[in-house]
Amino acid sequence: MKAFVLERYGKKGALRATDVPMPALRDDEVLIQVHAAGINQLDSKLRDGEFKLILPYRLPVTLGHDVAGVVTKVGPQVQRFKPGDEVYARADDFRIGTFAEYVPVKESSLALKPKNLTMEEAASLPLVGLTAWQALVEMARLKKGQTVFIQAGSGGVGTFAIQLARHLGATVATTASSANFALVKGLGADVVIDYKTQDFEDVLRDVDVVLHSQDSKTLAKSLRILKGGGKLISISGPPDPAFAKAVGAPTFVRWVIQLLSAGIRRKARARHVDYAFLFMSANGKQLQDIASLVEAGAIRPVIDTVFPFESTNEALNHVDAGRAKGKVVVKVR
């Protein structure tokens, strides 16, 4: 089968289009014929070697985390899916590889595709949808009447998180360029801050939850707009000891992670705020819940560009440029 393979880590290096063997199917997995694959910053960071300590993949490896496609084969332990089912998923860590014609996914990580979406639309949702769900529903337990600040509202995670937070009944603040104000307001943002001309610290105060996705300077400012007992959840780091324990990191890596996050954890404690790092995980049950919201019209996908499969490297470069509105998707079939 054809696939885009990472052969060596390198900043903004290219994946190689090549033929690779069909993946072996484990007993608890289904084999998906890939129709579309979403592009994420995580793919670029893996390509660039930023997660070598946390996710030590053995190269060469096929990249890609988001998939929508059709089940072609199921393992003997699989009970909920059958050949012909249209499904979508975030591929499991160390079993990624959606930039290919076929990919195996654990049954527990899989869900039926929302009936009202195309394959390309469905492929845009898993990673960003699960990130927003695990941050706002699981970790923050966001409630009606609370205020949440979602950074980078026009990005992949932002466009989904705004809609989810609005559905949960929260007041939503976000940052965007003036060109994207209409987009994020249309998704449900109540307060939109132009990051080019305004400082969110001058606008927001007593916020219940911050979903942080930017740099360390923005992280520090985010602490100062939270009320006591508020929650600062970061998807861009630094990782914290709870994350290191959850992924079973080696002792040396745990020590490094503890050191990297010591400053922000100390500042959070001083302000009586909770800090947590989120590295989202595959979860089929949550994708089922997300599909229900999509089918009910509460959430819609936002797609910037659909690239052909042979232009996967160009799609990654487009995401790297940081100007995509919503998600970038590769049409494989």
Of 84, 82, 76, 86, nearest to 116 (Cα)?
A: 86
Asked, for residue 292, whether it belongs to a domain, the answer is no
- Which helix (H) or strand (E) covers residue 143, if one does? none
Whole-number Å distance between alpha carbons of 194 and 308? 33
Other beta carbons less than 10 A from residue 269's beta carbon: 11
pLDDT at 223 over 90: yes
Asked, for residue 24, whether it belongs to a domain, the answer is yes
pLDDT tens for 12-37 read: 789 999 999 999 999 999 999 999 99
pTM for the whole structure? 0.96
The three-class DSSP label of residue 95 is coil
pLDDT confidence of residue 13 = 83
- Same domain? For 101 and 199 the reply is no
- Same domain? For 40 and 140 the reply is no
The three-class DSSP label of residue 180 is helix
Asked, for residue 175, whether it belongs to a domain, the answer is yes
The amino acid that residue 154 corresponds to is S
Planar angle of CA 25, 312, 292, nearest 5 degrees:
60
- Which helix (H) or strand (E) covers residue 231, if one does? strand 226-234
Of 118, 9, 119, 101, nearest to 64 (Cα)?
A: 101
In contact, 71 and 16? CB cutoff 8 Å:
no
Q: Average of pLDDT values for 301-308?
A: 98
Whole-number Å distance between alpha carbons of 258 and 241? 5
Domain extent, residue 52, equals: 2-124+301-331
Asked, for residue 282, whether it belongs to a domain, the answer is no
Whole-number Å distance between alpha carbons of 230 and 275? 9
Here the CATH number for the domain that contains residue 195 is: 3.40.50.720
- Same domain? For 163 and 252 the reply is yes
Burial (0-12, 13-18, 19+ Cβ within 10 Å), 1: middle
- Same domain? For 135 and 258 the reply is yes
- Same domain? For 158 and 273 the reply is yes
pLDDT confidence of residue 184 = 98
pLDDT confidence of residue 220 = 94
- Same domain? For 133 and 163 the reply is yes
pLDDT tens for 132-149 read: 999 999 999 999 999 999
Asked, for residue 190, whether it belongs to a domain, the answer is yes
When pLDDT is cut at 50, 70 and 90, the band that residue 45 belongs to is very high
- Total domains, the chain: 2
- Same domain? For 146 and 235 the reply is yes
Q: What Rg, from alpha-carbon coordinates, does the chain have?
A: 19
In contact, 26 and 104? CB cutoff 8 Å:
yes
Q: Average of pLDDT values for 275-303?
A: 97
pLDDT confidence of residue 271 = 96
pLDDT at 225 over 90: yes
Here the CATH number for the domain that contains residue 321 is: 3.90.180.10
Query: b/e for 177-189, b at 16 or more Cβ within 10 A?
Result: beebbebbbebbb
pLDDT tens for 86-136 read: 999 999 999 999 999 999 999 999 999 999 999 999 999 999 999 999 999
- Same domain? For 119 and 233 the reply is no
